[in-house]
Structure 1
Amino acid sequence: MTEGRNTNYYAVDGLIMQGEHMDVSTPVKIALDHGWSSIKGEHIFMENLVTPVDYTPLTNNGLLEYRGRKYIIGQGRMGKQATKTENDNYFLLTLAGIAKELSYQRIEKTTHVELYAGVPLTMFGAERKAFREYLWHKEQLSFTFEGVHYCFYLDKVKIYAQCYAAIANRMGDMNRLRCVDLGSWTMDVLSVKDKVPMDKDAYTYEVGLITAFERIKKEGLPKVHCEIPEEDITDYIKGNITSVNDEFIPIIEKGLQEYADNVEAKLREIKVDLKHENIIYVGGGASVMKKFGRTKGMNIQYVTDVKANAIGYRYLADNIG
């Protein structure tokens, strides 16, 4: 077995050989973004709750069978873990994510997969190796997801930096900018100069969308005499307002406005010039900033596709290595 590492453009990879020769089967390339509330691929999205079950569910929807155990994947949001490597949850999510991407691409069978994933920019040096080793199982992986059996080797695992990946193919002629990645639990802020990410000018703060969700639930309870469901909040953010109870809308709007104000206040605190710097909002909170951010202008862009990091991992793998 041989290993290789390439840290250009925030990547680290592992390669696996079968005996003395690499299997010549063309590997399928899969990119996954392991979020704190969901897992995204280039084409798929699902919530990240992992529920072990000791019975046969009514349907195969979300059913993962691995090493003699059954799990329901999705159907809710996982509570925040201290790290993504502390238990098997994110590896099980990886199996489900690969399976869903293969299904989307209508690939029924493959014996080799290359996996591209990421870690937060500010934790890249500390977490990339551990996350790669956590994901990269050298033995053949065999499991069933939603009634379909999969069996393949992970030939390669590459880890990139979140936030930068989301804008790597979107910078155009902007040589200098700030990328603001608004995720479920954190806000990452990255400076880019001459299209190169500045390691020493990157920040992570606990200003995630979940804080807004919890505030909205708390404020809604005495006003509408129930806890506003997260589904209604996320539907509102996605623009599916017709599915949201009319009583909830003013409370949701107030909570999201407070969130946008908090994001802009934090950016000003770290000397981000909202009126003149090129700023790209990405992540789940980008849609909130587009609607509720008070500072508007040609210098501000919004990447509202929550799959942007996964798409960026694949872009970096194909164009940078």
Structure 2
Amino acid sequence: MNNKLEVIGIDHGWSMMKTISQVFVTGVKEITTTQALFGDVLEYEGKFYKVGTVRQEVKDTKVEDDSFYLLTLAAVAKELKRRGLAEAMVFLAVGLPLTRFGAEKNDFIKYLTKNKRVSFKYENEPYYIEMDDVAVFPQCYAAVVDKIPTMAKKTLIVDICDTLCHQPV
């Protein structure tokens, strides 16, 4: 196990999931057929899920089913792969919409920390994470929190991806 704490920022948008290096559609769907290809496929607790499919419908909260938990695992795997890791102690800095931030913050922390240790596969590569903690911020902040130490004292951050990234080309 990597003893270094890996801080991973994830902006949990209704349209797009965003990390410092990844943007993908907020969609996940269980696959009930045998897999031939594993691109964007998450394996968790014996089930397979296609990630980045048609975006989720907006729900009352992001914790009412496992969708955002599964999307979080995919985002963590994408970031760990970029860092050359398959095992890590993870600190998540996540984003929720400002309008729902206060009402959903505590439930979202419980939701994302429901399993202290998690084993899963993403794109047929095994990952093992230990969840150190979760901090929730208004959206956009979470996507850049792990880069703040490298930023100038005054930095303007603009969150434009939810409105632009899913538009047809």
Give the TM interval when normalised to the shorter protein: 0.7 to 0.9
Residue pairs, 1:125-136, within 5 angstroms: 125-136=102-113
CA contact (8 A) 2:63 2:108 kept: yes
Question: Identity percentage over the alignment?
Answer: 34
- Are residue 101 (structure 1) and residue 70 (structure 2) matched? no
Query: Whole-Å Cα distance in 2 between the matches of residues 92 and 69 of structure 1?
Result: 11
- Are residue 123 (structure 1) and residue 100 (structure 2) matched? yes
Distance of aligned partners of 1:164 and 1:145 in 2 relative to their CA distance in 1, 3 Å threshold: closer
Q: Which runs of 5+ in 2 are unaligned?
A: none
SS of match in other structure, 1:87: coil
Normalised to the residue count of structure 1, the TM-score between the two structures is 0.45
State the Cα distance separating 1:181 from its structure 2 match. 5.3
Amino acid at match of 1:84: K
Larger proportion of strand: 2
SS of match in other structure, 1:101: helix
Q: Which has the higher contact order (CA 8 A, sep 6+)?
A: 2
Q: Which residue of 1 aligns with 2:130?
A: 153
State the Cα distance separating 1:75 from its structure 2 match. 2.8
Question: Larger Rg: 1 or 2?
Answer: 1
- Are residue 141 (structure 1) and residue 118 (structure 2) matched? yes
Q: Residue deviations 1:243-262, cap 9 Å, x none?
A: xxxxxxxxxxxxxxxxxxxx
State the Cα distance separating 1:50 from its structure 2 match. 0.8
Task: Single out whichever of 161-170 and 134-143 deviates more from structure 2.
Answer: 161-170
Query: Whole-Å Cα distance in 2 between the matches of residues 160 and 166 of structure 1?
Result: 10
SS of match in other structure, 1:122: coil
Larger proportion of helix: 1
Query: Whole-Å Cα distance in 1 between the matches of residues 155 and 65 of structure 2?
Result: 42
SS of match in other structure, 2:77: helix
CA contact (8 A) 1:137 1:154 kept: no
- Are residue 64 (structure 1) and residue 37 (structure 2) matched? no
Normalised to the residue count of structure 2, the TM-score between the two structures is 0.82
Query: Whole-Å Cα distance in 2 between the matches of residues 39 and 125 of structure 1?
Result: 20
Q: Which runs of 5+ in 1 are unaligned?
A: 1-22, 185-208, 211-229, 236-321
Amino acid at match of 1:72: K
Length, aligned pairs only:
164
Query: Whole-Å Cα distance in 1 between the matches of residues 31 and 143 of structure 2?
Result: 35
CA contact (8 A) 1:51 1:73 kept: yes
